[in-house]
């Protein structure tokens, strides 16, 4: 078999994590863990990607142990003996297939209630009690009306409790045998909501200018790094866009982005997962460099690109239309890895369409078009 896209199949080592190639299964919410417990079907789902040659699996968002972390009982959690036993089985099966796997720790923050009905007695975690300015969003008017009602701001005790919950989840991940830690710090969720001026208007030490607004995620990363030591890598997903407003930005210039990402890198982040609708979109005017490219240039850390790899429609558009046609942009991915623009490429929908995607790419075989009704229907 001839190897195609050879640069994508170069190995990469990040701290103790040794990857066979640069292909990553992107985190995708599947909501297939009843009572938050990942079962044998979840293990098979991730293991099939490892068997197919994917270098690294990043799990769907996983709830930390906090009352308002995740508002869907079928989202897996990383606490409780039953769920932790389930994750140990997942990790063992992925490792037996020759793969690597890390969990994405998740707290939805201001977006509490977006995935389902919630107990009104549970306080959502919001830096300033704000859901955020309503912009271009896919949320229903009914949900927005409920969500935009102001709530109490997070207290110092709230902040300390959430940081402790992140640390506990990271420790559980290490004990379960995961190969690193990932944090969801984008899309308007809790970590991101401190950075975004639309949700953080605090005037204390947790708010203010851009660097001050970055303090909370920095403290989370710092605490996790102290808890897990220097061996395992920390991945950090960030984004300009928010689910409250797809046009929102945390940084208008590269210098502003450098303030945020530089502080996080200094705290212990090893890989920046630059979430974007298209991996190749220029991040700022006057440059063709992608968001992942800027993350690497500004920090010197590793970076990972994501968005519409091999497909002609963004995730949002493919959900509206129900499908996405194949567009062979893999050569562009390879060129950007060769040039050093970014180090890893995260792929979501094509991993749903083809569990052996890495093998398909290596062989040069045709890519499988994404069909939402088929490929999002269940764990596959």
Catalytic residue among 45, 46, 166, 189: 189
Structure confidence at residue 375 (pLDDT): 75
CB 1 within 8 A of CB 323: no
Angstrom distances, CA of residue 53 to CA of 106, 165, 304, 361, 375: 26, 33, 18, 10, 19
CA distances from residue 146 to 116, 129, 152 in whole angstroms, order as listed: 12, 13, 15
pLDDT value at position 1?
Answer: 43
What's the pLDDT score for residue 324? 73
Which pair of tokens denotes residue 104? 């994405």
Q: What is the pTM of this model?
A: 0.95
SS3 content of the chain, % helix, strand, coil (to 5): 40, 15, 45
Residue 308 pLDDT = 87
Spell out where the chain has E strands: 12-14, 17-19, 23-25, 56-63, 101-106, 181-184, 234-239, 271-275, 302-306, 323-324, 344-347, 370-371
Three-state SS at 252: coil
- pLDDT, position 321: 67
pLDDT in tens, the chain (380 residues): 457 779 999 999 999 999 999 999 999 999 999 999 999 999 999 999 999 999 999 999 999 999 999 999 999 999 999 999 999 999 999 999 999 999 999 999 999 999 989 999 999 999 999 999 999 999 999 999 999 999 999 999 999 999 999 999 999 999 999 999 999 999 999 999 999 999 999 999 999 999 999 999 999 999 999 999 999 999 999 999 999 999 999 999 999 999 999 999 999 999 999 999 999 999 999 999 999 999 999 999 999 999 989 877 666 666 666 667 888 899 999 999 999 999 999 999 999 999 999 999 999 999 988 887 777 766 66
Which pLDDT score is estimated for 2? 56
Strands (E), 253-377: 271-275, 302-306, 323-324, 344-347, 370-371
Q: What is the pLDDT of residue 369?
A: 85
Grouping H, G, I as helix, E, B as strand and the rest as coil, residue 25 is strand
Distance CA 47, CA 184 (A): 22
143 among known catalytic residues: no
């Amino acid at each position: 078999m001839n190897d195609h896209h050879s640069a994508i199949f170069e190995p990469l080592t990040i701290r103790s994590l040794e990857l066979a190639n640069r292909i990553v299964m992107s985190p995708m919410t599947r909501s297939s863990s009843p009572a938050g417990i990942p079962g044998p079907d979840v293990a098979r789902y991730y293991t099939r990607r490892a068997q197919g040659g994917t270098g690294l699996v990043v799990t769907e968002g996983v709830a930390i142990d906090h009352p308002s972390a995740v508002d869907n009982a079928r989202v897996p959690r990383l606490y409780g003996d039953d769920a932790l036993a389930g994750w140990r089985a997942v990790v063992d099966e992925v490792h037996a297939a020759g793969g690597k796997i890390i969990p994405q720790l998740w707290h939805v923050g201001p977006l509490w209630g977006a995935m389902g009905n919630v107990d009104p007695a549970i306080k959502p975690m919001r830096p300033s009690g704000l859901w955020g300015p309503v912009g271009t969003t896919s949320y229903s008017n009914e949900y927005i009306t409920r969500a935009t009602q102001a709530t109490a701001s997070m207290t110092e005790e709230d902040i300390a409790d959430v940081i402790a919950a992140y640390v506990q989840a990271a420790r559980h991940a290490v004990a379960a045998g995961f190969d690193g830690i990932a944090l969801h710090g984008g899309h308007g969720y809790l970590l991101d909501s401190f950075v975004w001026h639309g949700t953080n208007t605090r005037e204390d030490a947790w708010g203010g200018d851009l660097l001050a607004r970055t303090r909370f995620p920095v403290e989370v990363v710092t605490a996790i790094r102290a808890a897990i030591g220097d061996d395992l890598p920390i991945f950090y997903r960030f984004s300009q866009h928010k689910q409250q407003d797809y046009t929102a930005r945390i940084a208008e210039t590269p210098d502003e982005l450098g303030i945020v990402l530089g502080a996080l890198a200094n705290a212990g982040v090893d890989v920046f997962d630059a979430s974007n609708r298209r991996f190749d979109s220029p991040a700022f005017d006057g440059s063709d460099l992608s968001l992942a490219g800027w993350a690497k240039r500004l920090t010197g850390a590793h970076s990972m690109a994501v968005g519409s790899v091999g497909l002609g429609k963004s995730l949002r558009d493919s959900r509206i239309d129900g499908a996405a046609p194949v567009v062979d942009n893999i050569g562009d991915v390879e060129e950007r890895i060769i040039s050093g623009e970014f180090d890893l490429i995260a792929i979501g929908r094509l991993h749903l369409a083809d569990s052996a995607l890495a093998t398909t790419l290596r062989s040069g075989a045709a890519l499988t078009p994404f069909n939402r009704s088929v490929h999002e229907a269940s764990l596959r």
